[in-house]
Amino acid sequence: MWLEGFLRTQLRGLLTKESYVALENKIPLLESRFKDIDEFGLYLHIPFCRQICPYCPYNKEIYHPEVAERYTSAVKKEMDIYSELIGNRPVTSFYIGGGTPTTMLYSGLDEILEHVFEAFNMQCDIHLESHPNDLTLDSLNAISSLGVEHLSIGVEALQDHHLKALRRPYSVEQVMTAVGQAAGNGFKCVNADFIFALPGQTCREVAQAGHTLVEMGIDQIAAYPLFRFPYTKLGRSTKETNHNVSNIFKRRKMLGILERIFYDAGFERTSVWAFTKPGIPKYCSVTVPLYVGLGASGGSYLKDVFYLNTFNVQEYIKALENGRMPIALSLDLSENMQMAGWLYWRIYETRFRRSDFQERFGKEFDRVYGRYIKLFSLLGFLKKDDGDEIFLSDNGTYWLHVLQDLFSIEYISQLWGTSKQEPWPEKVVL
């Protein structure tokens, strides 16, 4: 553990030149932060689920229709505040995540979507996360009629005993029916989320599930290894950690099995964990670098600041009912932090252009990160470098992500773990 902490501090110092990073309970002056931004992404968090899965790190609570109704009004109020700030500038990416957004399909989602189109200059499609149990033929039609064109489904596993161990309330047969119906419903992209490296899972089972996934007729597969977040039920009940060496090699082996199956079936890698059919627009969270997060636990990233709403649904609603912003924590970002954040997300996408970096920061990419790119090349982490665009190899993608996890799992655990316990934390030190 101390070695992980040491590595984290050293690497962070190297990349961001910061030895101390803390989010504080300050609301940034938003008017000035919104200036000089041409386009925005929107993220909306729906923090309700019909059951709580033991491995899940996201902000959620059990769905109650009367809370969803008050939540709908609060989200509309929050949108009105941002509508004033953004004006007519285009919103070019919109993602509704959770929790389980489909819990609100008949209790406010339509009202929220109507309001989004009134409040903002929407120039993009709608991406929505869903739970398999919410996907009947009727509800799929209701989802389509809301204008949703990109749908993700939490399949999670394709063996009944693993679904049971994950406490998922459906069988393989039921989830396959739901996915099959979704795939035939005319969406531009249907994505299935799948989790591997489950306790006791064999390589054979992973291969079997991989073949089933490609036979389902979906456009994209997001295959994540099981992450153990210390503040979840799973994290508390297990001694294994994400950085356990045998875990890291087991994940690489299983991901290699899935890569082969997905490539053979014609899928292409579109992010660390996602594989998409060619010619299909990739299903992913907000696709533009700067975005506003709405809802309880919504996070916003503007050029030089990151801020986070309260995670507590009642406090979120109360704040907006009283005309206050629901922002709980914020962090001013130095230029080095912004550049490191930029690189972090581009590595996640497995490819990036030097010219995009130059355009955003007015600096030559190689002057800032050239020596790391040389090192990546020597380690076999690059597939192609055409002088502008850099493509990571499968090995590079995996091992760089192991390094990224050293930060993300720990930071998410600190930030989300604390925010879940305290609605308005004084400070969270990362």
Q: Which residues bind ligand SAM (CB under 6 A)?
A: 49, 55-58, 97-98, 100, 129, 131, 154, 156, 193, 195, 224, 226-227
Name the minimum Å distance from CB 353 to ligand SAM: 28
Angle between helix 335-349 and 365-378 (nearest 10) = 40
Q: Give the one entry of ligand SF4, ligand SAM, none that residue 227 binds, where binding means its C-beta sits below a cut-off of 5 to 8 angstroms depending on kind.
A: ligand SAM
By the 8 A CB rule, do 175 and 155 touch? yes
Q: Which of 99, 235, 326, 423 binds ligand SF4 (CB under 6 A)?
A: 99
CA distance 406 to 10: 12
Alpha helices by DSSP H, listed for 158-244, are: 160-165, 172-183, 203-215, 233-237
**Bond prior to 108 in cis (omega within 30° of 0):** no
Name the minimum Å distance from CB 175 to ligand SAM: 10
Name the minimum Å distance from CB 232 to ligand SAM: 7
SS3 (DSSP) at 282: coil
109 touches ligand SF4 (CB under 6 A): no
Q: Give the one entry of ligand SF4, ligand SAM, none that residue 337 binds, where binding means its C-beta sits below a cut-off of 5 to 8 angstroms depending on kind.
A: none
Name the minimum Å distance from CB 405 to ligand SF4: 19
CB atoms < 10 A from the CB of 410, how many? 18
Query: For the purposes of burial, counting CB atoms within 10 Å of the CB of 283, is it exposed (0-12), middle (13-18) or buried (19 or more)?
Result: buried
Binding residues among 50-79 for ligand SF4 as defined by CB under 6 A: 52-53, 56, 58, 60
Cα angle, residue 333 at apex, residues 328 and 339 outer, rounded to 5°: 135
Q: Give the one entry of ligand SAM, ligand SF4, none that residue 409 binds, where binding means its C-beta sits below a cut-off of 5 to 8 angstroms depending on kind.
A: none
Kindly indicate which of the ranges 11-19, 92-100, 306-314, 367-375 contains the residues binding ligand SF4, using the contact rule CB under 6 A: 92-100
Give me the residue whose beta carbon is nearest to ligand SAM.
154
Contacts of 17 (CB under 8 A, 6+ apart): 334, 336
Q: Give the one entry of ligand SAM, ligand SF4, none that residue 52 binds, where binding means its C-beta sits below a cut-off of 5 to 8 angstroms depending on kind.
A: ligand SF4
Structure-token match 């819990």, residue found: 103
Name the minimum Å distance from CB 338 to ligand SAM: 27
Name the minimum Å distance from CB 249 to ligand SF4: 26
Q: Give the one entry of ligand SF4, ligand SAM, none that residue 295 binds, where binding means its C-beta sits below a cut-off of 5 to 8 angstroms depending on kind.
A: none
Structure-token match 């030149």, residue found: 17
Structure-token match 């984290």, residue found: 8
CA-based Rg of the chain, rounded to a whole angstrom? 21
By the 8 A CB rule, do 373 and 361 touch? no
By the 8 A CB rule, do 46 and 101 touch? yes
Binding residues among 148-177 for ligand SF4 as defined by CB under 6 A: 154
130 vs 201 by CB, closer to ligand SF4: 130
Give me the residue whose beta carbon is nearest to ligand SF4.
56
423 touches ligand SF4 (CB under 6 A): no
Q: Which residue ranges make up the site for ligand SF4 (CB under 6 A)?
A: 49, 52-53, 56, 58, 60, 98-100, 131, 154
